[in-house]
Each structure stands twice: as C-alpha cells, then as structure tokens.
Amino acid sequence: MSTPCGVHNPIPPDNFSKRVDIWHNRTKGVEFVELTYEESMEMAKAGDLIYCDPPYRHSQGILYRGQEFSFKHLLEIIDKCKRRGVYVVLSIDGTKKSGSVVCDLPIPKDLFEREIYVNCGRSMLKRFQMGGKSLENEVVADRLFLTY
C-alpha cells in the first residue's frame, strides 16, 4: 500500500477497511518497535531470518531518506549476521538500468551463497516518465541475494 499516487486506480475504501481488519487480527499480541536496521539486525540470533529491502542504489537515493543510507555499511552488517548464523536475504536492483547504464553493485563474492533474479514486470517509474509509450523493453528485475 506504499505505491505512490499515479495512473493506477486507488484501493476502494471498503477493500482498505477489510485489509485493516485482517491486519489487526493477524497482529494481535505483536509488539512493534522503532529501531534502526543496525539495532534490529544486532538482535537477531542464529537461525533467524532477516529480509533487507534497502533503497535501490541507482534510482531511490532521494526516496525513503536514501541520502543517509550506506549500502557498504549494510553489507558489513549482513556479514556480521552471517557469521553469527543469521540467515539474510537482500533484495536489490537487478537488471534495471539507469538511462543506458546497467546498474552494477559492489557485492563481495563470498558474502552470499545464492543469487536469484525476480522478474518484476514493467517499470512503474518508466510508465510515468514515458507517458503511455510502449514499455516492452523496460522490464525490471530485482535480485535476491541469500547468505544461505
């Protein structure tokens, strides 16, 4: 539900209300805390699973307070978690392009055991930028890096 306003139809109020009720029931007894990713990842124990979905390096620097985010630092924290036996999944740019440049990431070779490409379909950002033009060549893929 964090999709920005745009050309898609917003969720009808009745459907939103139903989702809130479902969410309410599923989270009964859950404690929500506000922590930095460093703090929460430090709390993880061997056998826990952490899913990281940081700002995309080449397109979201101005979103989600991305200017303050250090990808290199995240990789260091993931390494610490891996050494403690914590499983980590990192979702990040895949075959996505920034202009004509293919986004490349400085991923240490020994940090992750597997890499999986996930086809995300057409680029929503490009849909806004291209104003209704064909998007056949604008398919976005994300990568999942797994430490296990």
Chain segment 44-101, per-residue pLDDT in tens: 999 999 999 887 665 545 555 556 788 899 999 999 999 999 999 999 876 655 556 6
Query: Looking at residue 1, what is its pLDDT?
Result: 46
Tell me the three state secondary structure of residue 146: strand
Domains of the chain and CATH, by start: 43-146 (3.40.50.150)
Tell me the three state secondary structure of residue 65: coil
